[in-house]
Structures are given as C-alpha cells and as structure tokens.
Amino acid sequence: MSLRTGTRSLRRGSLLSTARAAASLPPQPSRCASTSSPASPLEPEARTQRTNPAPGPPKPNSPFTIFDRPAKVMQRDRAARRGEASRQTDYVRKAAAENVAERVLDIKRQFDTIVEIGSGPGYLRQFLDKEGTGVRKIIMCDTSREMLYRDEHLDGEYPFEIERRLIDEEELPFEPNSLECVVSSGALHWTNDLPGALVQIQRSLKPDGCFVGSMYGGDTLFELRTSMQLAEQEREGGISPRVSPMTDTRDCASLLSRAGFSIPTVDIDEISVAYPSMYELIHDLRDMGESNAVINRRPLLLRDTLLAAGAIYQALHGEEGVPQPDGSGGSIPATFGMIFLIGWKPDPSQAKPLERGSASHSMKDILGEGENPDSPEGPLPQGGVPPPPGGGKTRSFSTSARSRQQATTSSSNSSPLPEKACSACGTVQPFASVVCPNTSCSQLQPLPSDLDFYTLLDLDFSSVPRNGWDVDVRSLKNTWRKKQAVSHPDRMSGRSDKEKVIAQSQSALINKAFETLNDPLARANYLLERSSHSPATESDSLEDPALLMTVMELRESLEEASTEEEVASVAEENAQHLEQSVQALGEAFQGSGAGSGGGGGGGGEGQGGEWDVEAVRKEAVALRYWSNIAKACKEWERGKRVEVQH
C-alpha cells in the first residue's frame, strides 16, 4: 500500500471554473425561499411529496444503517433544483473529480467505457482527456434523478457518449466481470454498507480491472463539528450528531483488501476553503446536497445554539480581520479531507511480491556481521535484541503526540507521567490515554474530571517555558484534534452504551482543556488555580485607577460610535491594550524571584523562576476587560445598545 498526503487552501468560489479561478467569493444567492425552479424530471405530484419534510428519521433496520438514505436523496434533489446556486458550490466536488481524473490518466491503459458511481451532474467528464485514456463512453450513475439530469443540456460540449442510470450505490445492477474501470468522486461517504459496496464494485470488474475512488473522510469539517458540539453542550446541556461520521483514513487500505482488491493505494488530500462566516459554510453545504443525514439526527437547531456555534467557530478557528466583499479580511476555514482509493481486481498477470526467504542478498552482508550502524556500542547483544534506552542510541519515530510525550518522559531528565491499567485487558498505559493501546482491546478509557489539563493534552508541564505559560498553540490544536478524532461521540455508533457515555464525558473534558489552555485569560486563571491561588476578580483592579479610567473611556467611545469606522478605531486601540496585557502576563509568569507577590505557585514545576502572583492577577483582570470590549466591538450593530460585560 502506498500513502501520500497533501494540503491545499482556497477561498470559497475559487474552483468555480477555469475562467474564474482568480475570483474570490461568488455572489451570494438569496436567503429567501423562491417559488421558481428549473424544470424537473419528476412529476409535480411526486416533486411535492419529496420536498415535504418527513415527521422524523426512520428507525435503523440493520447494524449498518447510519444514514437516512431517502433524506439524502431528497436533499440532493432540492440542491439540484436551485440551478445556478447549486453550480456555484461544485468547487469541492470538482476538485475531487480533477484528482480522480489525474489518477485515471496516470494509468497506462486505455478504457473504452468508464462507470462513474455517484456522478452527480457529471464532474469527471470535465477533466478526462479522451486521447490520453481512450474513453469513448461514460456511464453516469447516481441516486438523485434531479442531480443526475441537472446539466444534461451540456452533454454536447464533451467528446464522450453519455449514458445515465438511476441506481443505488449499495445495490449495483452490473453483471460480474463486466466492467473495465469504475470511478467514484466524492459519493461513497454516504454509503451505509461501505465494505459491501466495495465488494460489489470488485465483483463487477473484469480481471485486472481498476477502481479509482474518492470520498470525504478523516477530519472533514472538524471545525464545524467541534464548534457545534461546544455550543450545544453550553446552551442545551448535551450534544447530538450534527456532522456525519467519517471513514478513518487508516481503515481504507484494509477495506480495499477485505473487498478483494489487490495492490491497494490510498492518497490523502486536504482542501481548506475560506468562508466569511459559519453561516455561508452551512449555506453552501445545503446547496451541495451535503447537509446532515445521520439516522438519529435532531430535526431542529435552536437559534441561540446556532449563534453560539458561529461565535465559537470564529474564536477557535477564525482569522483576524473584517470580511470584505472581495473575499479578503477575516474568514473561517473549513477543512474537507479527501481520501483517494485505487484498487485492482486480481489477475495472474499482475506483479506479485516475492516469496518470503527468496532474497539473494542478506542485510548482514551489507551492514556488516551483526553491527548496528546507529549504535556506538558496536555489535548487538546475543539474539539480535537492541539495547534498551540508555544502553544504546535508539531512535523512535511516531506521528502521535502521545507517543512523542512518552518518548520525552522516558528520558532521565524528566519524571514519567502517571500510568493506569485498562479495566478490560489490564494493559498499562499513560494516565491520559483515551483508548487502550492494545489493538485487540481498544476499549475507551474513562478520564477523571480533575485530570490536569496539561497532562490530558500530552504536555509535560515541567518542560513548558515560563511556568506553563508559553504553550505551543499549533501543537496543542493538533493534539486536541487527534484525541477528538478518537473519542468524539459521532464515532461511537458501533460501541456499547457504556463506551458512548465515556466518549461523551471524554469529549467534553478534552474540549474544556483545549479551550482553557488555548485562551490566554483562561490559561492564566487556570495556572492560578493550579498553584492553589484564587482566580483574578474585578476587586483586584480597584487599586489601579488608571486601568479603570482607560476602560471607561473605551466603553464610552464604543457607546457613542455611530459608524463602523469609529468602532474599528476603538477595536484597534483595544487590541493594543490586549496585546500588552498578554505580554505582561508572560513576563509575570517568567518571574525572577523578586516579584511583589513573592509566592510563585509554579516556580518549582515549570521552567522559570518564582512568578509574580499579584502581577498575574492584575494583568488577568485587565485582559478580561480588553477581551469583553473586543467582543462588544465584534457584536456592534447600528442602532443596537452596546453591552460590555465585565
């Protein structure tokens, strides 16, 4: 199996067409409902029936029922009826189809006919080269009739014979050993029985036939997922599946092998699209036909929860600045993780690996008799077992933050993190593990509610500069994403009820830890509490009249502002104060042993001298003032009363 990863960033609308590749945001379609729509292949009565919302999602009738397939067909039909609005949101599917077409062109074979599963209106034909592939005919297959026929009037622009079939990806109508090449660009992620669908594709291929596919997976829309979860947890006291569960990248190669494909290849590509706000993202997902269709979804979303999710999205993932009509300025990113799959139906003519033990050369002849080139100790001990850490120079490679933390804490210069045993199999593991490392167990591990946030996010507090203040935000976010990818409740559809409860508490605690350490004010108060000091309160600022006067002047300026330019001026001045307070907090946590507060609660643990507790409390209060004023500036609206909470 080969694996390749990549990341691309683009702004919303930059893949609309070749002619508009340099354009920024496309015109926003009206938010109002419209009675006009393009001609529909469905009869008027049937169309009315399909557009009326069902009273609720159907009950799952098999262990594989994750998605409400009739609802998904209805969503895609509605999206196709929006005509030009639907075409403007094809940019992600076009990017996926272009990548699939490149992989087909890389195959040094000619295919007379290609079957496209989940073709939509016909994305692949826009990027296929007839001369390079020899393709004469494309059979376009989809579950949505409206989407399948949306661009039928454009068939004459492409040099291919087009045949359309309305089929279900889970019940393919093709005869065994009848197809040369099957492709799928961005459709299989809505399949309930993905292994079964791959098996049917493999059976329909001729010997040495090729399957090239792509689907959303991995961390797709993780920003939206976590923001919605945090908002629901805060406003409603619980969470529900708002974003569909995605296939794990690590499982794709085994899925291909399990389906009977040979020479499986998996490629990973991330597309990051910039949107003005979360609401434009949701709007585009609707026009793509990619709205939520989980079988147990909640039909309603409270307005208060939606507004909170938008604010959390902007705070956690957004870029600074005010969005501009040309697409510049502040924006929020949305990540679409694309998994590309290539598999071949077995055939005797295919290359096969040599049998074990058939090599004509030995590594011993190349490296020397029993020598380890990485070890200064020379030959390995008897039995070929390398010396343990400390007895030889050993290198370890790991992509997980938890493994890196274990490697760090195993050195003699730092104390090891506490460990615990799995309640199911007894495997000893780090105290902050969210899942048992024993692959035959993989049981979710409960986390104590009072677990140290640094330990939970795989940070060795003693190695964090300035007594725990200088946190690497990028590394912190990566660790948070990886842990949420394991413990998020949306991924627990096949787990027991006990593990679902554990996952919910795990996910909430991980989110709380990330929010605390990611935000300077929350981090400062947490470090105060961690060192047995009470958090900063407004009473700490009563002895600083200069601070109170500055806050009062900024607040009055904001209340008197009547234009966006005046608000921007207040926000700019406030941002300078905020930055100064963050810098002052860092200096206070650095300490020198001569601070006015003396009792440096963290001086014995983190890197740095005894920190100035009183200075930390003072700057934390100031930072709270600046943060609240910044929030009021963002929420400012003409004619609306300004409320600054402290």
Confidence of residue 21 (pLDDT cuts 50, 70, 90): very low
Question: By mean pLDDT, which of 337-341, 421-425, 521-525, 557-561 is the weakest?
Answer: 421-425
Residue 387 domain-assigned (yes or no): no
> Residue 140's pLDDT is what?
93
Task: Using pLDDT thresholds of 50, 70 and 90, give the confidence band for residue 149.
Answer: very high
> In the block, which residue shows the tokens 């939509």?
120
Mean pLDDT of 335-345: 91
Mean pLDDT of 158-169: 90
Structure tokens at 645: 């909470």
> At 480, is the pLDDT very low, low, confident or very high (cuts 50, 70, 90)?
confident
Confidence of residue 368 (pLDDT cuts 50, 70, 90): low
Residue 371 lies in a domain: no
Q: Is 469 helix (H, G, I), strand (E, B) or coil?
A: coil
Q: How confident is the model at residue 543 (pLDDT cuts 50, 70, 90)?
A: low
Q: Taking a C-beta distance cutoff of 8 angstroms, is the pair 168, 143 a contact?
A: yes
User: Which three-class secondary structure state does DSSP give residue 18?
Assistant: coil
Q: What is the CA radius of gyration of the chain?
A: 29
From 235-239, 284-288, 489-493, the region with the lowest mean pLDDT: 489-493
- The alpha helices in 149-274, defined as continuous H runs, are 194-204, 222-236, 249-258
Contact yes or no for 213/97 (Cβ under 8 A): no
Q: What is the pLDDT of residue 178?
A: 92
Last residue of a domain, one of 308, 329, 344: 344
Q: Are residues 77 and 125 in the same domain?
A: yes
Close Cβ partners of 464 (under 8 Å, ≥ 6 residues apart): 454, 470, 471, 606, 607
- Binning pLDDT at 50, 70 and 90, where does residue 37 land? very low
Q: How many CB atoms lie within 10 A of CB 282?
A: 18
Residue 360 included in any domain: no
What is the spatial distance between Cα 235 and Cα 233, in angstroms, rounded to a whole number? 6
Terminal-residue alpha carbon distance, the chain: 56
Q: Is the Cβ–Cβ distance between 335 and 219 less than 8 Å?
A: yes
- Per DSSP, the three-state class of 358 is coil
Residue 514 lies in a domain: yes
The interaxial angle of helices 473-487 and 401-409, nearest 10 deg, is 120
Q: For residue 432, which amino acid is it?
A: A
**CATH number for 417:** 1.10.287.110
pLDDT at 317 over 80: yes
Greater model confidence, 255 or 600: 255
> What is the identity of the amino acid at 606?
G
Residue 498 shares a structural domain with residue 559: no
What's the pLDDT band for 607 if we cut at 50, 70, 90?
Answer: low
Q: Do residue 292 and residue 200 come from a single domain?
A: yes
Q: Are 222 and 335 in contact (CB under 8 A)?
A: yes
CA distance 81 to 65: 27
Assess if residue 173 is contained within a domain: yes
**122 in Cβ contact with 93 (< 8 Å):** no
pLDDT of residue 364: 66
Asked if the model's pLDDT at residue 101 lies above 80, the reply is: yes
Residues 6+ apart with CB under 8 A from 407: 396, 398
Inter-residue contact 187 to 169 (CB < 8 Å): yes
Domain interval for residue 485: 401-518
Q: DSSP label at 604?
A: T
Q: What is the pLDDT of residues 191-221, one digit of tens each?
A: 888 889 999 999 999 999 999 999 998 888 9
Shared domain for 548 and 604, answered yes or no, is yes
What pLDDT, on a 0 to 100 scale, did the predictor assign at position 596? 36
* pLDDT, averaged across the chain: 75
Q: How far is CA 160 from CA 66, 84, 344, 418, 642, in A?
A: 36, 24, 24, 64, 61
Answer whether residue 100 is part of any domain: yes
Which CATH number is 627's domain given?
1.20.1280.20
Neighbouring residues of 193: CB distance < 8 A, sequence distance ≥ 6: 64, 170
Distance, CA of 225 to CA of 480 (rounded, Å)? 13
- The verdict on 171 and 275 lying in the same domain is yes
131 within domain boundaries: yes
Q: Which tokens in the block code for residue 269?
A: 């590509």
Tokens of 183: 């492709």
pLDDT at res. 47: 36
Q: What is the CATH number of the domain that holds 132?
A: 3.40.50.150
Q: What is the mean pLDDT of residues 538-559?
A: 75
pLDDT at position 213: 92
152 and 280 in a single domain? The answer is: yes
CA pseudo-torsion sign 24, 27, 31, 33:
negative
Strand-strand pairing, 205-216 and 332-344: antiparallel
Whether residues 444 and 568 share a domain: the answer is no
Sign of the dihedral defined by the CA atoms of residues 51, 52, 56, 58, in that order: negative
Among residues 318, 344, 370, the one where a domain terminates is: 344
89 and 211 co-located in one domain:
yes
Kindly state whether residues 337 and 437 are assigned to the same domain. no
Classify residue 48: in a domain, yes or no: no
Same domain, yes or no, for 165 and 300? yes
- Looking at the structure, do residues 497 and 573 belong to the same domain, yes or no? no
Same domain, 598 and 499: no
Using the 3D structure, point to which of 344, 376, 392 is the last residue of a domain.
344
Please tell me the distance from the alpha carbon of residue 202 to that of residue 467, in angstroms, as a whole number: 57
Overall number of domains in the chain = 3
Which residue, chain included where needed, has tokens 């919302």? 53
Q: What's the pLDDT score for residue 363?
A: 64
